[in-house]
Structure 1
Amino acid sequence: MSANELPPTSGGGAAAAPLHTGPASIHGADGGTAGTDHSGEGVWSRAWRTLRRNPVAIGGFVIVALFVLVAVLAPVLAPFGPSELPGRAEIRPTHIPGPSSDYLLGLDRYGGDVLSKLIWGARASLLVGILSTLFGLAGGMLLGLLAGWFGGWVDFAAMRLVDLMLSVPSLLLAVSIAAIAGQSQMSVIVAIGVVQVPIFARLLRGSMLSQRGQDYVLAASALGLTRRAVTMSHVLPNSVGPVIVQATLTLATAVIEAAALSFLGLGGGEPSTAEWGRMLTAAQQELAVAPRLAILPGVCIAITALGFTLVGESLREALDPRNRTRR
């Protein structure tokens, strides 16, 4: 056999194609690489690769990162403490000092430094947003897991409870719970968390029901694995993706709802408390004299909610199986 001849195949058909070494690739007619095969990647690895190339996701991550840094470093960044009123002596009924060298964003009606209150307000909003979302996530996942695991009357009872909670407008339900629990930051956290429970419960339950009919679940059951093992080791891990995406989006809603409850006076604390919603409440009487007192916290709330929304929407698109063929 000469060096230019190919060895015959075992089936007598066409000769086998030569094997390519290195990363799998798709070659065009000109020999260039048209794309790279990432079929061996996991779901989260593929999502992370997609997010890194998405300018919308990068913008959202930057906003969220700045918000978190300001909240964590508030004691270092804020010129004054959250309850300090350094300019109280300078306040007049018809005059509120504006920006100056001593107070970069001016003073509020109580004599507090606006810049310091905005910085400390970021910490309060982050605390309420994260804790309320974790509260709602834990309660919702518990209900969704019970409904998706047991089914039958447990599923029916859990979903009727969810339907009952969804029948009441979310803000009205949060206001009712916060009013009953008392005016405090903890009551706001509980109120917002309870409102989020049915969202996570229905999402996890639906995701688990769709996973239970997959081939890998049938194969695991055929191998003799118990329902508990199949659910906790296979179904649940493959069902939490949509829930995590929803949690990211819910953080934006939690920040807005926390500000709304504080605006209504349900957040507790003194009227001069450093919290964005409370700042909006105090600014109502000075809209004609100092509109910046309402504009600045409003802009902070809007930008923070926008950041979490951009991250959540980008993560949802990155995890969507229908978008995998486009990458």
Structure 2
Amino acid sequence: MSANIPDPNLLPDGAPVTGTASAAVTEPAGKAPKKDAGDTRHSDRGTSIWGEAFQRLRRSPMAISGAIIIFLFILVAIFAPILAPYPGEATPGMRLVTPTNIPGIGTPGYPLGLDNFGGDVVSKLIWGARSSLLVGVISTCIGLVGGLFLGALAGGFGGWIDTVIMRIVDILLSVPNLLMAVSIAAIAGQSPFAVMIAIGAAQIPVFARLLRSSMLQQRGADYILAAQTLGLGRGKITMSHLLPNALGPVIVQATLALATAVIDAAALSFLGLGGGVPQTAEWGRMLTVAQNFLSSAPQLAFLPGICIAITALGFTLLGESLREALDPKARKR
């Protein structure tokens, strides 16, 4: 009598085994099914340097605080015509101001009081944010573009080009930034555009030397040697490979330079090199006018000074956080 041996090609109900069911039956117990080559839902992907830096910034209270300050500063500057009760040079409270009395904080209709011209302090602070933002961004862009050009030439080509450019940069770096900016602004004339040129020109040597140093560090990297092995020219390697990978420290410096630009713009306006009239809504100009009323109306100097300090603090916090996030030693911790 023969034993009933089940046919492996038939299911218990007698139906034939299909390909899918067969694979399920013949798969060894305890072994996980193979992952489809096209299924990338669970694949591990590497993180770029900038992606990792962004993740570190999201967890940094200092970076978040700086970003909030900068965001509010930009919003106030952009929407100044909507937020400000009066135009920047308007003097709506002129009739309330006397040589011996300047209405202070809490004056009806003027929450932060009036200045000696009868201008609304709130409106001038708001319009001053727009002025400082324009000067800071444009002057930093001028310095960044000039520094990138000189730094790329020196770091990418080397030789006598590097020597000549770096000696010029060394001479410029020997002069303090503010002193150089004052000299250029005095020559270019008293106007906001002259202030932008002066501050931007003073920042060019810093950006140039920083980019050149970063490019020299990257020159011996494996990807550069591989590009040279493939026969790529020096210009192609510099513009397509070397320069993009050397921009990290320069971007960090640009963020920090914005804080310096805001302070320098206020300093030049304080010295009377920013152009405009005494009623101009600019934080540095407000400080210039307020020094004659420190005893009777100290808020005229205190309020714009606080605005300058907070704005510079925001750019500094974000810049320092970005520097730490891109630091290779910090990424290893």
TM above 0.5, yes or no, is: yes
1:75 maps to what in 2?
Answer: 81
The residue identity in structure 1 corresponding to 2:66 is G
4+ runs deviating over 6 angstroms: none
**Cα distance in 2 for residues equivalent to 1:240 and 1:86:** 49
Match of 1:170 among 177, 186, 206: 177
1:296 aligns with 2:303: yes
In the TM superposition, residue 55 of structure 1 has moved relative to its aligned partner by 0.9
**Cα distance in 1 for residues equivalent to 2:176 and 2:236:** 38
1:81-124: CA deviations, max 9, x gaps?
01111011111111001132311100001110000000000000
Across the aligned residues of Structure 1 and Structure 2, the Cα RMSD in angstroms comes to 1.6
Matches within 5 A, 1:189-204: 189-204=196-211
1:208 aligns with 2:215: yes
The residue identity in structure 1 corresponding to 2:113 is G
1:90 maps to what in 2?
Answer: 96
Match of 1:126 among 129, 133, 153: 133
The residue identity in structure 2 corresponding to 1:295 is F
Aligned residues: 298
Are 2:181 and 2:199, in contact at CA under 8 Å, matched by a contact in 1? yes
**Cα distance in 1 for residues equivalent to 2:314 and 2:114:** 27
**Cα distance in 2 for residues equivalent to 1:73 and 1:168:** 38
1:246-276: CA deviations, max 9, x gaps?
0000000000000000000000000110000
- Select between 300-309 and 222-231 the one with higher mean Cα deviation: 222-231
1:59 maps to what in 2?
Answer: 65
The residue identity in structure 2 corresponding to 1:59 is S
The residue identity in structure 1 corresponding to 2:98 is R
Larger radius of gyration: 2
1:320 maps to what in 2?
Answer: 327
The residue identity in structure 1 corresponding to 2:133 is L
Match of 1:150 among 157, 161, 166: 157
Match of 2:115 among 84, 89, 108: 108
Are 2:157 and 2:234, in contact at CA under 8 Å, matched by a contact in 1? no
Match of 2:194 among 187, 193, 196: 187
Are 2:140 and 2:257, in contact at CA under 8 Å, matched by a contact in 1? yes
TM-score (normalizing by structure 2): 0.87
2:238 maps to what in 1?
Answer: 231
**Cα distance in 1 for residues equivalent to 2:28 and 2:89:** 87
1:253-312: CA deviations, max 9, x gaps?
000000000000000000110000000000001100010000000000000000000000
Match of 1:274 among 248, 273, 281: 281
In the TM superposition, residue 131 of structure 1 has moved relative to its aligned partner by 0.2
Identical-pair percentage: 64
**Cα distance in 1 for residues equivalent to 2:107 and 2:47:** 55
**Cα distance in 2 for residues equivalent to 1:43 and 1:304:** 28
**Cα distance in 1 for residues equivalent to 2:30 and 2:155:** 61
The residue identity in structure 2 corresponding to 1:93 is P
TM-score (normalizing by structure 1): 0.88
1:41 maps to what in 2?
Answer: 47
Unmatched segments (≥5 aa) in structure 2:
1-26, 32-40
